Amino acid sequence: MSSTPLETALNVTTVGVTIVALAANPALNALASLSPLEHLKRGDKDQASTLTILEEIAGIMDVRVHDTLQNDYNKLAETRAGLANMGSFEALRKRKHLMKYATDAAQLNAAIMKSAAKLVRARLG
């Protein structure tokens, strides 16, 4: 049986929902956090996940909640567009902006995962 990205991310089973988190090496995370490019990559990965889930739950989520999450996604997409095409020196100077983008994208992704998990639990009964 094939599973959707949402089911894979949430690890949907008949007994419940578990959000899957990958184990990470703290030392590698510390080194990666020094690179401005890593902040963009993390934020972009979270944004891609958020968009995928938003598309999958569009028809089943409360319209107001979905619109709020979609608007938050769109604002972050605008922020990301403003961070595009900067050189290495400028990226180092604007590191705080890149970190905020990554943090905001992670928080939005966590919020949508929580909302999606709640929907899945409600549908499972």
- The mean pLDDT of 34-47, rounded to a whole number, is 88
User: Is 12 exposed, middle or buried, given 0-12, 13-18 or 19+ CB atoms closer than 10 A?
Assistant: buried
Write the pLDDT tens digit of every residue in 10-23.
554 444 444 444 44
The phi, psi pair for 86, rounded to 5°, reads: -95, 145
User: pLDDT value at position 87?
Assistant: 76
Give yes or no for a contact between 39 and 99, defined as CB atoms under 8 angstroms apart.
Answer: yes
Write the pLDDT tens digit of every residue in 72-121.
999 999 999 988 877 778 888 888 899 999 999 999 999 999 999 988 88
